Every structure is written in C-alpha cells, then in structure tokens.
Amino acid sequence: MYKNCGPDSIKYISMDPCEIEPCVFTKGENVSVTIDFTTNSTVTDVQAKVYGEVAGVFVPFALPNPDGCQGCDLTCPLGAGEQSYTNTFPVLAIYPEIKVVVKWELLDQDSNTLVCFEFPMQITESAGNIY
C-alpha cells in the first residue's frame, strides 16, 4: 500500500485510520502515522515534510508539528539503529475534498532523506462520501 521513495530504511508503517487503499480521511478526525525505520549514523535533527501531488506537482502540506525531535516519540540525537516516529495531525474542515498521492519524508539535519514513502489518500466530508 505504501511505496518507498527513498533509502531502504523503512521497517514498518502504520496509519490510523487507513485500512484499504486509498487512505480515506474524514474532515474533523485525527490521523496518526507511525514509522519504524533505521538510521546508519547519528542524527541530531529530524524534520517531517508532507506533500500532496496536485496536477502532477507535489505541493507542501503543513503539519502542526514538523519537528520529529519534539512530541513525535524520537529523542534526538538519534544513534544508529532502529527508531520509531509517531505524528498525529487533524484533517481540518477547510481542506478540500480531494484525492491525491501523498509523499511523506523525514529529513536529517543536513536535509538528507531518512525516510520517504508515498500513498494514495482521499479527504471526504463524511465517511459515506467516498469517490
């Protein structure tokens, strides 16, 4: 369901709610993503970047907490080895009802990609409005 678009560091991805492709998120709910991954060296900073592919162009989506070292279950600096990142964000009522491919990246202090994956997503007004 998730397509890796970066280094082969991802061990596990969980997104709640997301049981089938595409992930259908309803306005007003919270979405939680957990990514288990490995690092090969010390990482002093982690930043999350999220994009939605609109008309063939990846447009940035704002995360309430892009700092992976604060409130996302990572304790920086990270040593080499297994890590687990969790972020929860709201699906705001102002978001358009749209179907897009989302790209989620975790970048280190030098903007090197630690994790990158893509997945299809749909935002709906209510659970019954899947198109």
Task: Give tens-digit pLDDT for 75-112.
Answer: 999 999 999 999 999 998 988 899 999 999 999 999 99
Structural domain boundaries, residue 117: 3-124
Kindly state the DSSP code that residue 70 receives in the 8-state scheme.
S
Summarize pLDDT for 23-37 with one digit per residue, the tens.
999 999 999 999 999
**71: three-class secondary structure by DSSP:** coil
Number of folded domains that form the chain = 1
Cα–Cα distances in Å, from 51 out to 60, 66, 75, 107, 110?
4, 12, 25, 14, 19
- The reply to whether 85 falls in a domain is yes
What pLDDT sits at residue 131? Answer: 46
For position 47, which CATH number holds? 2.60.40.770
List, for residues 1-15, the tens digit of each pLDDT value. Answer: 799 999 999 999 999
Q: How many Å apart are CA 41 and CA 80, to the nearest integer?
A: 5
- Please report whether residue 22 resides in a domain: yes
In degrees and rounded to multiples of 5, residue 119 shows phi and psi of -155, 150
d(CA 1, CA 6): 16
Q: What pTM did the predictor assign?
A: 0.89
